[in-house]
């Protein structure tokens, strides 16, 4: 269960929020000029990256404001929360080496449950 | 003669002043408070308690706690039956009844044991190979397999016990109250942190309790006194919560952990507090976590290593010191490291005779050898146990040098204590997504890289010596407090006087070498699931070379114990056979829960009425008093119909539906979603979210509208009224209220922040009574203060503000029935008052309350759609043949562009039509398929569409139905058929949807 930091209310449990999917998708103002294919893409297609993903959340059981978040989908770690209309901040994240790879820690995936020889010990956060 | 022949004359933490009587498998036993079922059974001389899963082999007690793989029994009976309870964890109490499970007819004579004779025919992957083939393979066999392989029986009825869930935040959560955990909790508490200390067993102390108290002194106090002092300090602190009988079973994201507390299980039912739950689930969010979960000893893997009476050496010692029970009088100790020798000395000094120490290592530490010699213990170094005897309890072992051609010695014994080395308990660490590190010296995995805010301390971190554990705990607690924002006050590490023989110079072998032919060897890796080394080797041979595949193919580690003692031996075997290092083999995934948790605890209070709390309107109690039949709509309970004495549900609906046209009837419409929209941008907002045009709607007027998704499909419908130029009152469907509100906020806040408007949910602010029928006007005029409800001057789709005995009211001339209607809104607190007022005034017209089923029927008579019944997310307004509701003249609105997509604009899409059966008394089934032929063709049947609504209409005088039919708009008057199970398709005529109009015009 995530801890989500609402930009207006602060840290709250995920149970208070509703996820709104991909962020920064601007509704086209020239829809009538768009081809069926382009319009269909906008309506139906969403990014689903393994890595940093900008997504929307709604504080439905709180202030009822929509806001944005950056989440590392490879590790389920939130990296930033920011109001609607703002550009995503620059963040650092533990990312998979390739889209098909695994982040070196945090995914819980088979490939990264055990350290390789030479990998240094300690804490990553 | 005592009934506890194996109870030692002294020692243990049990309360010897009291005797507890219980039964296992029909036999009466006694024990003492503080005993587990295991310690009391062992005191009574019983080791065999179960049968294994596959071969029905006798299973004894291997461990002394949560690690035990197969000593599972049923406790209680009837609705109180708990299956798969570990005897090593269950505490005894007077009257406790336990039964062996997975046996028939009895534990010692079990028909399923025949499986054991056929063991060669049950190889790894047996189930896959045998039963997956063919179309019906597994389906046919599964019930028989399940019965034969049963794992205990579910209770006979609903669980009568109360459970509770509670949420907690803390600064430092310490899991495990052994030496490291106690010191960690002490440090964190003294630093001022809010601490939760969770201990899985009934007592604090952990491995300290498994030591001879006379030989373990901390700060010059015997271990139990030292533990008592620490416990007293912790319990005296306001910010510390000490939980015993509490397992941390799950480590989830962002330091969220689940704790499972057994509050009352250790007491007889009549001694449990009626004010306390049976079990409690703690949902804890911790700033920092200290994992002091200890280490688990591994068994050794050799031929016939599964007999009752083969026990972990550490467990044997635990039974002596924690429970005052001698698990065997003549003990053979089998070790691959020094710690087994320590156990042997301890057992010898506690009154057991040691038949021999067998050690796979050739080179043994001189001090150990001389101490063994002094105790007169026979030593077999460089040897292994290669076989055992005894049916329900081990009676002897065969010992042979592991190399060379030495002969076999037969050694009699009544207990084989196995010491295969220690595995740090990293289950929660791995659940937290930390990375494990293979440690060659330790011959085990230990925590490497942390991912969450936790630290492992003591044996769970590979530190096995007592002083090291105490120091590591003190430090971890202080660091955790520091990281949680406190200035750390580490608890001083107590001065220790204790003798320890630790795991040293381990020779970790996956399988004890023997001269026996591999195909004749039955060496168990997983005692619960009956997985042998032979199975694992076969899995590797057959290509299951990933550890995750080998696990699933053989089921090793897949039992209810999750392979706590088995896994590392299995990994090692795979590593040896494949010739690849352990870090390349990796581990299987440690999943939540760490141990089985009852459904009762997971459900908590959320059962029965509390499973999904229902909302009632202010008039709800009136409905209840008037025989309403309710249905859930969204979160609400709404009356479906009001039954009169002797009346069936169907009869009630017919009566109510007639009254709603010919007389006057009233519906509680309070549950409709209501949203107050204010601001300069409100009108433009409506233009963009509805398909229709709102620019010209004057104050005092109402309009019905559709909302679409961006895909052009109907999302919701409702009436919105203009109160002022910048103020609107919107209604939504009952079920869609919350979703639509959220969706509107989405567009208002994220797409059109330039529009100035404010959305407020006012669903709960208004109570609504909807009057329908010829006499509704008279009722409205009678209750309202000086109000003219003449439909000529108060036209359809308008509203007026008025008062009822001074109470402000708003009356809408809107209708979902097609009859003369008035919808009266009052502040919610006046809802019941209004309702009763209506019935008072309506009495002389025979006013009839009606419910949602009648409402559905009435609107179908008029051809009005219900979003979600006649639509299913694939239906546009044009599909509903409601082109008029889509404005061509205004600008963009949500979903507009999609209405002209090639697929959405197809002429042959399914469209809403009316269907009239040729036999007017015949009712179609909702969901039934519409076809074009008189007889149902062979599958696949080409289908034109399906029936969405179907009713017997008293006002039309026959059955009516709505259906979505391909190209339906062009099929008016056509003859089609509707399928039905077990009968010929029903012939129907395609019509328009407004049946009232069809009747007026004489078409029906
Ligand atoms: Zn908020």
The 10s digit of each residue's pLDDT in B725-763 is: 999 999 999 999 999 999 999 999 999 999 999 999 999
* Predicted complex ipTM: 0.94
pLDDT at A106: 87
CB contact residues (below 8 A), chain A span 22-41, against chain B? 26-27, 29, 31-32, 34, 36, 39-40
Within an 8 Å CB–CB cutoff, is residue B254 touching chain A? yes
For residues B495 and B470, the answer to whether their CB atoms sit within 8 Å is no
| Element containing residue B189 per DSSP (H, E) | helix B179-190
Length of chain A: 125
The hierarchical CATH code for the domain A3-112 is: 3.30.2270.10
CA distance B890 to B911: 25
Which residues of chain B fall short of a pLDDT of 70? 1-2, 126-150
CB contact under 8 A, A114 and B452: no
The hierarchical CATH code for the domain B163-295+425-498 is: 3.50.50.60
If one counts every other C-beta atom within 10 angstroms of the C-beta of residue B374, the result is 9
| Element containing residue B263 per DSSP (H, E) | none
Q: Which residues of B touch A84 (CB under 8 A)?
A: 749-750, 753
Both tokens assigned to B71: 């000593």
pLDDT category at A100 given cuts 50, 70, 90 is: confident
The alpha-carbon radius of gyration of chain B (Å, integer) is 38
**% of chain B at pLDDT higher than 70:** 97
Both tokens assigned to B732: 């939504």
User: Could you tell me the fold of the domain covering B299-420?
Assistant: FAD/NAD(P)-binding domain (3.50.50)
Show me where the domains of chain B are located: 20-132, 163-295+425-498, 299-420, 516-578, 673-764, 899-1000
Chain B residue whose CA is closest to A36: B901
Any idea which residue has 């982040």 for tokens? Answer: A103
pLDDT at A119: 85
Three-class SS of residue B747? Answer: helix
Domain B516-578 has CATH 1.10.10.1100: yes
For residues B715 and B732, the answer to whether their CB atoms sit within 8 Å is no
The 10s digit of each residue's pLDDT in A18-42 is: 999 999 999 999 999 999 999 999 9
Q: Which residues of A touch B453 (CB under 8 A)?
A: 125
Chain A residue whose CA is closest to B753: A85
| d(CA A124, ligand 1 centre) in Å | 29
pLDDT at B1: 39
* Domains B163-295+425-498 and B299-420 belong to one CATH topology: yes
CB contact under 8 A, B896 and A31: yes
pLDDT at B185: 98
Q: Which residues of A touch B745 (CB under 8 A)?
A: 58, 64, 66
Closest Cα partner for B210 from B506, B459, B493?
A: B459
pLDDT at A1: 85
Domain B20-132 has CATH 3.40.1190.20: no
Both tokens assigned to B441: 């010296």
pLDDT category at A125 given cuts 50, 70, 90 is: very low
* pTM greater than 0.80 (yes/no): yes
The hierarchical CATH code for the domain B899-1000 is: 2.40.30.110
- Please give, rounded to a whole number of angstroms, the shortest distance from the CA of B410 to a CA of chain A: 42
Q: Which residues of A touch B743 (CB under 8 A)?
A: none
Of A26, A40, A76, the CB nearest to B901: A40
CB contact under 8 A, B438 and A115: yes
Which of these CATH numbers, 3.30.70.1400, 1.10.238.10, 3.40.50.970, 3.40.50.300, describes B673-764? Answer: 3.30.70.1400
CB contact under 8 A, A115 and B435: yes
Show me where the domains of chain A are located: 3-112
Helix axes B547-554, B533-541, angle to 10 degrees: 120
Closest Cα partner for B36 from B22, B51, B50?
A: B22
The 10s digit of each residue's pLDDT in A44-92 is: 999 999 999 999 999 999 999 999 999 999 999 999 999 999 999 999 8
Within an 8 Å CB–CB cutoff, is residue A12 touching chain B? no
CB contact under 8 A, B749 and A76: no
The 10s digit of each residue's pLDDT in B804-828 is: 999 999 999 999 999 999 999 999 9
Q: Which residues of A touch B434 (CB under 8 A)?
A: 105
Q: Which residues of A touch B449 (CB under 8 A)?
A: 105, 115, 119, 121-124
Q: Which residues of B touch A39 (CB under 8 A)?
A: 897-898, 901
| d(CA A63, ligand 1 centre) in Å | 4
């Amino acid at each position: 269960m995530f801890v989500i930091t609402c930009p207006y209310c602060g840290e709250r449990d995920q149970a208070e929020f509703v996820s709104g999917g991909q962020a920064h998708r601007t509704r086209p103002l020239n829809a009538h000029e768009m081809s069926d294919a382009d319009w269909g893409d906008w309506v139906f297609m969403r990014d689903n990256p393994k890595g940093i993903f900008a997504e929307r959340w709604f504080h439905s059981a709180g202030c009822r404001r929509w806001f944005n978040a950056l989440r590392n989908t490879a590790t389920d770690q939130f990296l930033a929360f920011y109001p609607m209309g703002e550009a995503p901040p620059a963040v650092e994240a533990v990312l998979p080496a390739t889209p098909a790879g695994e982040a070196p820690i945090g995914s819980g995936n088979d490939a990264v449950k055990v350290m390789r020889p030479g990998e240094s010990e300690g804490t990553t956060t | 003669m005592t009934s506890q022949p194996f109870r030692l004359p002294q020692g243990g933490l049990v309360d010897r002043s009291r005797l507890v009587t219980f039964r296992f498998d029909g036999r009466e036993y006694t024990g003492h408070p503080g005993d587990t079922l295991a310690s009391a059974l062992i005191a009574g001389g019983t080791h065999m308690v179960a049968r294994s899963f596959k071969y029905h082999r006798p299973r004894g007690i291997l461990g002394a706690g949560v690690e035990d793989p197969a000593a599972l029994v049923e406790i209680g009976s009837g609705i109180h039956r708990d299956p798969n309870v570990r005897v090593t964890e269950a505490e005894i109490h007077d009257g406790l009844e336990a039964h062996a499970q997975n046996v028939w007819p009895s534990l010692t004579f079990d028909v399923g044991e025949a499986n054991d004779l056929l063991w060669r025919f049950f190889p790894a992957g047996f189930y896959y190979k045998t039963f997956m083939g063919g179309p019906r393979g597994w389906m046919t066999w599964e019930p028989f397999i399940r019965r034969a392989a049963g794992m205990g029986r579910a209770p006979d009825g609903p669980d009568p016990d109360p459970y509770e869930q509670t949420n907690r935040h803390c600064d430092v959560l310490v899991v495990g109250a052994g030496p490291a955990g106690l010191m960690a909790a002490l440090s964190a508490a003294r630093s001022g942190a809010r601490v939760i200390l969770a201990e899985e067993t009934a007592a604090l102390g952990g491995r300290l309790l498994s030591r001879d108290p006379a030989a373990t002194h901390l700060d010059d106090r015997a271990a139990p006194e030292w533990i008592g002092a620490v416990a007293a300090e912790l319990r005296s602190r306001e910010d510390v919560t000490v939980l015993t009988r509490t397992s941390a079973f799950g480590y989830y994201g962002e330091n969220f952990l689940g704790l499972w507390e057994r509050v009352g299980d250790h007491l007889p039912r009549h001694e449990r507090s009626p004010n306390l739950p049976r079990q409690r689930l703690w949902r804890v969010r911790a700033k920092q976590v200290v994992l002091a979960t200890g280490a688990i000893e591994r068994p050794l893997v050799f031929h016939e290593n599964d007999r009752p009476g083969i026990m972990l050496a550490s467990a044997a010692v635990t039974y002596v010191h924690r429970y005052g029970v001698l698990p065997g009088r003549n003990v053979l100790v089998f070790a691959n490291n020094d710690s087994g020798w320590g156990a042997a000395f301890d057992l010898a000094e506690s009154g057991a005779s040691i038949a021999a120490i067998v050690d796979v290592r050739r080179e043994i530490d001189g001090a150990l050898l001389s101490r063994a010699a002094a105790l007169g213990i026979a030593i077999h170094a460089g040897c292994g146990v290669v076989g055992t005897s005894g049916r329900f309890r081990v009676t002897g072992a065969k010992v042979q040098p592991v190399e060379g051609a030495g002969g076999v010695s037969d050694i009699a014994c009544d207990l084989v204590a196995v010491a295969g080395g220690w595995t740090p308990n990293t289950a929660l660490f791995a659940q937290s997504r930390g990375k494990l590190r293979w440690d060659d010296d330790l011959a085990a995995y230990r925590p490497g890289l942390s991912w969450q805010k936790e630290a492992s301390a003591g044996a769970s971190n590979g530190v096995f010596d007592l002083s090291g554990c105490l120091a590591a705990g003190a430090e971890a607690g202080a660091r955790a407090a520091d990281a949680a924002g406190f200035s750390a006050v580490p608890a001083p590490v107590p001065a220790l006087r204790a003798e320890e023989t630790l795991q040293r110079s381990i020779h970790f072998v996956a399988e004890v070498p023997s001269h026996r032919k591999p195909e004749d060897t039955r060496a168990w890796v997983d005692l619960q699931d009956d997985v042998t080394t032979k199975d694992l080797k076969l899995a590797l041979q057959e290509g299951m070379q990933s550890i995750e595949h080998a696990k699933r193919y053989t089921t090793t580690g897949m039992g209810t114990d999750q392979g706590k003692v088995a896994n590392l031996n299995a990994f090692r075997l795979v590593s040896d056979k494949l010739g690849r290092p352990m870090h390349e083999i990796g581990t299987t995934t440690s999943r939540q829960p760490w141990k089985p948790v009852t459904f009762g605890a997971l459900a908590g209070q959320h059962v029965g009425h509390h499973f999904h709390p229902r909302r009632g309107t202010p008039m709800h109690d009136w409905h209840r008093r008037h025989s309403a039949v309710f249905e859930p709509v969204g979160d609400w309970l709404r009356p479906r119909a009001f039954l009169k004495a002797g009346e069936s549900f169907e009869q009630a609906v017919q009566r109510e539906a007639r009254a709603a046209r010919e007389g006057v009837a009233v519906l509680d419409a309070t549950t409709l979603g209501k949203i107050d929209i204010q601001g300069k941008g409100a009108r433009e907002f409506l233009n963009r979210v509805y398909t229709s045009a709102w620019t010209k709607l004057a104050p005092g007027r109402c309009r019905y509208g559709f909302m679409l998704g961006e895909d052009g499909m109907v999302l919701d419908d409702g009436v919105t009224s203009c109160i002022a130029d910048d103020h609107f009152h919107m209604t939504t469907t009952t079920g869609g209220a919350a979703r639509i509100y959220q969706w509107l906020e989405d567009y208002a806040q994220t797409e059109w922040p330039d529009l100035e408007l404010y959305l407020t949910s006012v669903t709960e602010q208004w109570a609504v009574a909807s009057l329908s029928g010829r006499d509704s006007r008279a009722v409205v005029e009678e209750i309202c203060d000086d109000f003219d409800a003449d439909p000529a001057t108060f036209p359809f789709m308008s509203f007026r503000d008025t008062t009822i005995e001074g109470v402000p009211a708003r009356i809408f001339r809107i209708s979902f029935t097609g009859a003369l209607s008035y919808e009266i809104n009052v502040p919610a607190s006046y809802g019941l008052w209004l309702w009763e007022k209506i019935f008072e005034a309506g009495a002389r017209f025979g006013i009839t309350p009606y419910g949602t089923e009648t409402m559905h029927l009435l609107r179908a008579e008029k051809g009005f759609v219900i979003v979600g019944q006649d639509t299913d997310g694939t239906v546009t307004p044009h599909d509903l043949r409601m082109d008029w509701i889509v404005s061509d003249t205004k600008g963009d609105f949500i979903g507009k562009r999609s209405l002209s997509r090639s697929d959405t604009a197809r002429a042959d899409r399914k469209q809403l039509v009316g269907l009239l059966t040729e036999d007017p008394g015949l009712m179609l089934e909702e969901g039934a398929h519409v076809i074009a032929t008189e007889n149902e063709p062979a599958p696949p049947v080409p289908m034109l569409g399906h029936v969405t609504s179907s009713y017997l209409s008293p006002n039309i005088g026959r059955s009516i139905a709505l259906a979505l039919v391909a190209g339906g708009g062009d099929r008016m008057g056509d003859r089609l058929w509707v399928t039905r199970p077990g009968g010929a398709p029903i012939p129907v005529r395609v019509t328009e949807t407004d049946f009232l109009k069809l009747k007026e015009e004489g078409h029906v």
